């Protein structure tokens, strides 16, 4: 009987050590999402900018997969998700999938409204992409949204983007 009780205590201690050990080695979702984002952007997205031909295509596919994985795996890490979704839009633009890129940029605002910095960048990227493709009406919509949604922003870079949107509208 005493031996059985000893076994239970030893098993309990082993379980406790394993659990506490795991907790010490574990990383938070926020840190894991950050790590995945940085790996994806550095190893594939940045690397694709330097590569050519099929290697570039392969790296862009890997980058898109990495950003999608982050969105799937860490949906509550909204800051990293918004960055990933916008970066996915950039990858689609690089792949020449312009319609998909624009809808992805739009999704940033729809899904992560509170991530203001990501939203304004996505809107600007979408507007610039449309303008460069000759879709002036669609570009105008994005620029108008920037002005309406961020007119009162105090951050200097947001102000610069609003001014840039106003300038773009004035020559369209």
Partner 1 sequence: MKTKSILIAMILVSTALTAPIALARVSLVTLPARDSVQLTIYNAEDITMVREKRFLTFKKGVNNLEFSWANTLIDPTSVEFRAITHADKIEVLDVSFPPRVTNTLEWHIASEADGEVQVEIQYFTSGISWAADYVGMANGDQTMMDLGGYVRVNNNSGEDYDNAQVRLVVGVIRLVEKIRDLAQQPPVVRAEEFAKRRVRLAGAVERAERKKDLLEAAPEIIKEGISEYFIYTVEGRDDVKTGWSKRLSSFTAKDVPVTAYYRYDERRWAQNAMRYYKFKNNEDSQLGNEPLPDGGVRIFRTKDAEGLLSYVGQTRVKYIPINEDVEMELGYDPQVRVEGKLMDWRKDRIHFGHKGNVDGYDQHETWTFEIQNSKNIPIEVDVRRHFRGDWGMKTDDEYEKIDANTVKFVRKLNPMEQVSFTYTVTTCTGANERK
Residues that bind partner 1 (CB under 8 A): 38, 41-42, 45-46, 48-49, 83, 86-87, 89-91, 93-94, 101, 113-114, 116-117, 121, 124-125, 128-129, 131-132, 153-158, 160-161, 163-164, 167-168
* SS3 category, 43: helix
**Residue 26 Cβ, how far from partner 1 at the closest point, in Å?**
18
**Residue 10 Cβ, how far from partner 1 at the closest point, in Å?**
40
Return the CA Rg of the chain: 23
- Match 């919509």 to its residue by tokens: 141
Residue 144 CA to residue 169 CA, distance in Å, equals 8
C-beta of 33 vs 93, nearer to partner 1: 93
C-beta of 6 vs 39, nearer to partner 1: 39
C-beta of 86 vs 145, nearer to partner 1: 86
**Residue 68 Cβ, how far from partner 1 at the closest point, in Å?**
15
Residue 161 CA to residue 129 CA, distance in Å, equals 15
Residue 64 makes CB contacts below 8 A (sequence gap 6+) with 88, 91, 92, 95
């Amino acid at each position: 009987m005493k031996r059985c009780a000893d076994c239970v205590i030893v098993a309990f201690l082993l379980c406790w050590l394993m659990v506490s050990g795991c907790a010490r080695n574990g990383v938070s979702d926020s840190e894991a999402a950050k790590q995945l984002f940085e790996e994806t952007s550095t190893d594939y997205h940045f690397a694709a900018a330097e590569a050519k031909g099929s290697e570039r295509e392969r790296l862009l596919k890997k980058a898109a997969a990495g950003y999608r994985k982050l969105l799937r795996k860490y949906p509550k890490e909204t800051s990293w998700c918004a960055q990933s979704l916008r970066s996915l839009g950039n990858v689609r633009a690089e792949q020449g999938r312009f319609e998909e890129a624009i809808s992805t940029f739009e999704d940033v605002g729809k899904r992560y409204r509170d991530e203001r910095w990501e939203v304004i960048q996505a809107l600007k990227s979408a507007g610039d992409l449309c303008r460069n493709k000759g879709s002036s009406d669609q570009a105008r919509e994005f620029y108008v949204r920037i002005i309406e949604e961020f007119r009162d922003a105090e951050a200097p870079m947001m102000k610069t983007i609003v001014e840039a949107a106003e300038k773009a509208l004035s020559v369209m």
